[in-house]
């Protein structure tokens, strides 16, 4: 065991503790984690397959949904396999560079997620407020540009996290990270160097992304609701609302979990450690599980094709 005042200079690896306070039951906690991973992979893969196989779904709304599903498929293997390795096989060690790589992908994919939700809010705004110009506004080139913008924004905002740790942080009071994955703040809290720049930049990134994205989404839906309430018939208003329901549920779920995780990590000093860790996992994993379920249930075109696909498989299996 390390001495209390020991300092680790440029460590080659870290040890991921898992969920502090729940070590004795982590093997049981691994079961719902594995279940969420399985459902997320199957659900998002199904959405991607359906959109790919049906040319009539190659429209902006469904292509953005495919981007969301692809992003969710990236989030799951970034954290779940290592987490299950900790829970079930005591595989706690992670190389320093691997830790930074995991940190990058975790945060950049989270940034992609909220960026895609912004693009989907734009899609719903154009579809409801400018339906006659929908195809001319959201052209394939515009969609490609939106996708590139989402990727570039995420990459260029998250890369400095790694650079600042590499350049400004070299000594740590411990190499045991009380987390299931290499989350930025969890690693930074172990540093003995001056991390004010790192923390300020981290807060700035969270504020910019959350403020810009939430403001854009709020503005879009304010305009959407105004346009919907001006529609002449009740049936038309209900139909317009129904096209937005799935997206609104996903937005509320994603932003609520992310906000609780962020506030709990930075200001919930009286919360027990395992609450922080569980929130940090749930805000990443729960949307990946729920997104395909909600869109499958609320989007008629996808729901019908899912039923058809599984009905066909059931019929073939009986032949």
Structure tokens at 179: 């987390």
Domain ranges, residue 179: 10-318
Report yes or no on 287 lying in a domain: yes
d(CA 138, CA 127): 9
Mean pLDDT of the chain: 90
Instruction: Collect all residues with Cβ–Cβ distance below 8 Å to 107 and sequence separation of at least 6.
Output: 158, 161, 184
β-pairing, 13-16 vs 176-177, is parallel
The pLDDT of residue 243 is 79
Report yes or no on 171 lying in a domain: yes
DSSP helix/strand/coil, 94: strand
Report yes or no on 235 lying in a domain: yes
Q: Which residues of the chain have pLDDT under 50?
A: 1-2
Structure tokens at 184: 């930025």
Report yes or no on 3 lying in a domain: no
| Residue with the two structure tokens 């893969």 | 45
Report yes or no on 5 lying in a domain: no
| Residue with the two structure tokens 């379920």 | 293
d(CA 292, CA 42): 9
The pLDDT of residue 319 is 55
CATH number at residue 52: 1.20.1070.10
- pLDDT, tens only, 155-206: 999 999 999 999 999 999 999 999 999 999 899 999 999 999 999 999 899 8
CA dihedral of residues 125, 131, 136, 138 (deg, nearest 10): 30
Q: What are phi and psi of 3, to 5 degrees?
A: -65, 155
Sheet containing strand 93-95, edge to edge, reads 93-95, 13-16, 176-177
Judge residue 132's burial from the number of C-beta atoms within 10 Å of its C-beta, 0-12 exposed, 13-18 middle, 19 or more buried: exposed
DSSP letter string over 170-228? -EES-SEESSSS--HHHHHTTB-S--HHHHHHHHHHHHHHHHHHHHHHHHHHHHHHHHH
d(CA 150, CA 47): 21
pTM for the predicted model, two decimal places: 0.92
Per DSSP, helices labelled H in the chain are 26-53, 60-89, 96-129, 134-137, 140-168, 184-188, 196-229, 234-267, 273-298, 300-318
Number of structural domains, the chain? 1
d(CA 180, CA 102): 11
Other Cβ atoms within 10 Å of 263 Cβ, number:
11
Residue 270 is given by DSSP the state T
Helices 140-168 + 60-89 axis angle, to 10: 30
């Amino acid at each position: 065991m390390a001495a209390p005042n020991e300092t680790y200079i440029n460590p080659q690896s870290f040890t991921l503790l898992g969920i502090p306070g729940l070590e004795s039951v982590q093997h049981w906690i691994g079961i719902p984690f594995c279940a969420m991973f399985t459902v997320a992979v199957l659900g998002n893969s199904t959405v991607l397959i359906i959109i790919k196989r049906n040319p009539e779904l190659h429209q902006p709304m469904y292509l953005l949904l495919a981007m969301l599903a692809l992003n969710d498929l990236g989030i799951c293997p970034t954290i779940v396999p290592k987490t299950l390795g900790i829970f079930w096989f005591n595989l706690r060690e992670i190389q320093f560079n691997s830790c930074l790589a995991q940190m990058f992908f975790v945060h950049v994919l989270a940034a992609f997620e909220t960026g895609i939700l912004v693009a989907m809010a734009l899609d719903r705004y154009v579809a409801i407020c400018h339906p006659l110009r929908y195809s001319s506004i959201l052209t394939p080139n515009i969609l490609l540009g939106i996708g590139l913008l989402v990727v570039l924004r995420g990459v260029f905002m998250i890369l400095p996290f790694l650079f600042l740790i590499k350049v400004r942080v070299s000594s740590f009071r411990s190499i045991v990270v009380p987390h299931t994955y290499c989350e930025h703040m969890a690693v930074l809290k172990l540093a003995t160097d001056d991390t004010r720049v790192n923390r300020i930049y981290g807060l700035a990134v969270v504020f910019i992304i959350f403020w810009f994205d939430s403001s854009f989404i709020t503005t879009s839906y304010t305009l959407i609701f105004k346009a919907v309430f001006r529609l002449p018939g009740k049936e038309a208003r209900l139909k317009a609302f129904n096209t937005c329901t799935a997206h609104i549920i996903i937005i509320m779920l994603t932003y609520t979990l992310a906000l609780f995780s962020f506030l709990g990590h930075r200001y919930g000093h009286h919360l027990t450690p395992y609450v922080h860790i569980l929130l940090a996992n749930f805000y990443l994993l729960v949307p990946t599980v729920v997104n395909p379920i909600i869109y499958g249930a609320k989007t008629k075109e996808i729901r019908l094709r899912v039923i058809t696909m599984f009905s066909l498989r059931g019929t073939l299996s009986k032949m």
